[in-house]
Amino acid sequence: MKMEHHSAYGRNFDSLDIVIVDDSKTVLTMIRSMISSLKVARVRSFDRGDLALQAMLHEPPNVILTDLAMSPMSGLQLLHLIRQKTMVPLCYVPVVVITAHATQKRVSQLFEAGAHHVLAKPFSAAALQGRLKSLLTDDRLMELEGNRYIISGMRETLTEKRSKLQTLEKAREFHEHVLPQAAEKQRRVDQILDDVQAEGGVVQHVCPPRVVAAKEKKAETQPARAVRSSRYARVAGRRKSG
């Protein structure tokens, strides 16, 4: 399996040839201005992906900065074409994709397609310069898989991140749904107990069978004792009167 470093690895800024692709001339000017302080060797800008591709096939750059939402060729389409093995040596050029909609799904899609970095709009000059600096020491290899190049280890990294996100999502669902339901059930139980206490209710304790039998026997003998006491009282009264 053929593996190569990307074309900016180990270089200095003063030797970099950078291509910018964006269908907004205002954005092209802004990005050129952000890069100017790095004193790179060359900066080329294009407002169409197909025109940029033609120029890069003749003179491959060291870094490509491309917007995602463009026409007639999108940044993703441009990235897919660049990573084809038939595009050697252009297929080894690191690509930084710029997008205003950096969702988790879209970022994963771009990394799987072969992007080295993704920049979310709006971004600062420091953020852009930081991405470019990191490319100079990024030693991840370009790995040929089928008929296209991918970044070695990227799929494993994305799989691990998806697993972590799924774990976090389950934890979020637990806190948002399960815990409130449990709290609501406990609230209902507490309300029932409060209602019983407000009505003068008491908690009935279950007595052992012996205790219950003794209480019943005592209750049965109390009337008999009352009758005997009444008889004794009548007899005593007759004796006194006699």
Q: pLDDT, tens digit, for every residue of 114-159?
A: 999 999 999 999 999 999 999 999 999 999 999 999 999 887 776 7
Instruction: Return the pLDDT at 135.
Output: 96
Name the residue ranges covered by the structural domains of the chain. 3-152, 155-202, 205-236
CA distance 10 to 136: 5
Is the pLDDT score of 23 beyond 90?
Answer: yes
On whether the CB atoms of residues 24 and 70 are closer than 8 A, the answer is no
On whether the CB atoms of residues 98 and 128 are closer than 8 A, the answer is no
Return the beta strands (E) in 77-145 as ranges.
95-99, 117-120, 141-145
Q: Which residue has the tokens 């952000």?
A: 34
pTM exceeding the 0.85 threshold for the entire prediction: no
Dihedral angle, C-alpha 154, 156, 161, 167, nearest 10 ° = 170
On whether the CB atoms of residues 18 and 167 are closer than 8 A, the answer is no
Beta bridge partners of 21: 46, 66
Task: pLDDT band for 49, please (50, 70, 90 cuts).
Answer: very high
CA distance 47 to 26: 10
Domain 3-152: CATH superfamily is: Response regulator (3.40.50.2300)
Please tell me whether residue 97 adopts helix, strand or coil conformation: strand
Q: For residue 48, count other CB atoms closer than 10 A to its CB.
A: 16
Instruction: Return the pLDDT at 176.
Output: 72
Q: Which residue has the higher pLDDT, 119 or 227?
A: 119
Buried b (16+ CB within 10 A) or exposed e, 224-242: eeeeeeeeeeeeeeeeeee
